[in-house]
Amino acid sequence: MNVSIIGTGYVGLTTGACLAFLGHKVTCIDSDEKKIALLQAGKTPIYEPFLTELLEEARPNLQFCRDYAAAVPSAHVIFIAVGTPPSADGSPDLRYLSQAARGIGQYYDGDYVVVVNKSTVPIGSGNWVGSLVRESFEQHRGRKTGERFSVASNPEFLREGTALHDSLYPDRVVIGSDDARSLEMLYTLYRPILDQTFAPPTYLPRPEGLGAVPLISTDLASAELIKYAANAFLALKISYINEIGQLAEKVGADIQQVAKGIGLDVRIGTRFLQAGIGWGGSCFGKDISALVATASEYSLTMPIVEAAREINRRQRERVVEKLLGELKILKGRTIGLLGLAFKPNTDDLREAPAIDIARKLVERGCKVKVHDPVAMERFQEQHRDLQVICCETPEETADDADALVLITEWQQYREMDWEALAPRMRSRIVLDGRNALDRARLTRFGFRYLGIGG
Ligand code: UGA
């Protein structure tokens, strides 16, 4: 099938690479000239494991351009995967979504096409996008569309860092549509994934035992709500374990054992119960705010979801509190932060706990040193205002530090030679913000080890 994808961020690029790999003819459109030039040269604007390899393999089926005229008329399916960043009041900024819908309306030639909302859009956006496409078509063509297009919602559940794996081997595919033909077309598009009939790339093997992937077909509003409800639930699962973690510390329990003990109950599940400094990233915070805002339009409150956000905010403060408890005075102290990205295997710094924590420590008068294996460049571009010292190695971050804080659980930090690091520090304090390090080993090397949640 001919597929066009508007927006080459994490979602658009991953979707494009996977669909082209599966044999569809894919055109990715982005208004950013630099990004398109980079992609045309075989490079990626984002750090995502195996993306360069998959793009290379899919190259015969893949092209990149800035021009709607080159991508819209021939498409059977058009994905909108543009950013919907939070605006000043927390509601999603729909400017790019509206531009994409109007661009489609302007260039589509009147043959049947399915317009798919893949970006996380407010509930009700399906209808809105439809009206924008229609309006723009009529304005540019001087006639009515005759309803030869339909809008579907196909929410994305990929995680940064494992985006390709999540897209090729999803837990489920959700398609919301009020039109049988578009559902049929999307079913055909996703068939190799639903039936798992494709030969996997060598670097992304199929998980053992993976059978057919369930397709959940719903109306538009349900598909849109599924996306928000899923992200909010994951966020509150993390906040829940972090709240229990606070009590665990007081009563002398170990939150990791508690998480395992409750998680093995299949009704609860072990995943997303990793206690620590809490969630960051571009999705959970933004989606929770949008969910709360939508509810308020119907005079509803969402106390559980709001509490998850508040607990997450507190987790970041606990880093400062713990350091204060240990060092007594923060002014003049040197604190090394290991990891800046909001999670490992990405260079994404949006809503990253590291930024908040670094700012709080600087405000307290600390000298803050930072390191990240991949996000340094992006950090220097985006956070020039933050008065911290950028280090090239974790060792340099440890030099003369009064404490090291593990912010992002990169494999490199788990595996590094902590014994050699110890003598470089002024005092051997490690605050493990992700409960990811080996407490017994570090204690053996003379570190005072502090975890989160006991
Ligand atoms: C999240 C969802 O997991 C995806 O399903 C969804 O598609 C995506 O948002 C989105 O809406 O685009 P992502 O933000 O990429 O994916 O990353 P996650 O793996 O969910 O991690 C989010 C944050 O939670 C990270 O800061 C991570 O460190 C933290 N986390 C995760 C915990 O603190 N504890 C856990 O147990 C799990």
Domains and their CATH numbers in the chain: 2-218 (3.40.50.720), 228-306 (1.10.1040.10), 315-450 (3.40.50.720)
Confidence of residue 311 (pLDDT cuts 50, 70, 90): very high
Q: What is the pLDDT of residue 333?
A: 98
Please write the tens of the pLDDT for every residue from 247-289.
999 999 999 999 999 999 999 999 999 999 999 999 999 999 9
Please write the tens of the pLDDT for every residue from 204-233.
999 999 999 999 999 999 999 999 999 999
Task: Tell me what the pLDDT averaged over the chain comes to.
Answer: 95
| Smallest CA separation from ligand 1 atom 11, residue | 283
Please write the tens of the pLDDT for every residue from 37-82.
999 999 999 999 999 999 999 999 999 999 999 999 999 999 999 9
Q: How far is the CA of 199 from the centre of ligand 1 (A)?
A: 28
Please write the tens of the pLDDT for every residue from 125-158.
999 999 999 999 999 988 877 778 899 999 999 9
Q: Which residues line ligand 1 (CB under 6 A)?
A: 120, 156-160, 231, 234, 238, 272-274, 276, 278-281, 283-284, 342-343
pLDDT at 423 over 90: yes
Q: Quick one: average pLDDT of 5-31?
A: 97
Which range, of 82-96, 269-283, 328-342, 439-453, averages the lowest pLDDT? 82-96
Q: Which residue has the tokens 């003990």?
A: 261
Q: How far is the CA of 351 from the centre of ligand 1 (A)?
A: 12
Q: How far is the CA of 160 from the centre of ligand 1 (A)?
A: 8
Cα-based distances in Å from 180 to 113, 150, 173, 185, 386:
13, 10, 16, 9, 52
Confidence of residue 454 (pLDDT cuts 50, 70, 90): confident
Q: How far is the CA of 211 from the centre of ligand 1 (A)?
A: 25
| Smallest CA separation from ligand 1 atom 22, residue | 279
Q: At 118, is the secondary structure helix, strand, or coil?
A: coil
Q: At 19, is the secondary structure helix, strand, or coil?
A: helix
| Smallest CA separation from ligand 1 atom 28, residue | 343
Q: What is the pLDDT of residue 48?
A: 95
Q: How far is the CA of 279 from the centre of ligand 1 (A)?
A: 7
| Smallest CA separation from ligand 1 atom 13, residue | 159
Q: Which of 18, 283, 366, 391 is catalytic?
A: 283
Question: Which atom of ligand 1 is nearest to 281's Cα?
Answer: 14
Is the pTM above the cut of 0.85?
Answer: yes
Question: Which atom of ligand 1 is nearest to 120's Cα?
Answer: 11
Q: How far is the CA of 420 from the centre of ligand 1 (A)?
A: 33
Question: Which atom of ligand 1 is nearest to 157's Cα?
Answer: 7
Q: What is the pLDDT of residue 335?
A: 98
pLDDT at 110 over 80: no
Largest CA distance in the chain: 77
Q: What is the pLDDT of residue 92?
A: 84
Amino acid (1-letter code) at residue 247: L
Verify whether residue 366 is a known catalytic residue. Answer: no
Question: Which atom of ligand 1 is nearest to 273's Cα?
Answer: 36
Beta-bridge mates of residue 432: 406
Question: Which atom of ligand 1 is nearest to 282's Cα?
Answer: 14
Measured at the alpha carbon of residue 417, what is the angle toward residues 414 and 418, in degrees to the nearest 5? 80
pLDDT at 111 over 90: no
| Smallest CA separation from ligand 1 atom 31, residue | 272
Q: What is the pLDDT of residue 286?
A: 92
Please write the tens of the pLDDT for every residue from 343-388.
999 999 999 999 999 999 999 999 999 999 999 999 999 999 999 9
Count Cα atoms within 13 angstroms, Cβ side, for 228: 21
Nearest Cα neighbor of 4 from 56, 57, 65 is: 65
Pocket test for ligand 1, best of 84, 226, 228, 238 (most atoms within 8 A of CB): 238
Helices assigned H by DSSP within 108-179: 125-141, 163-168
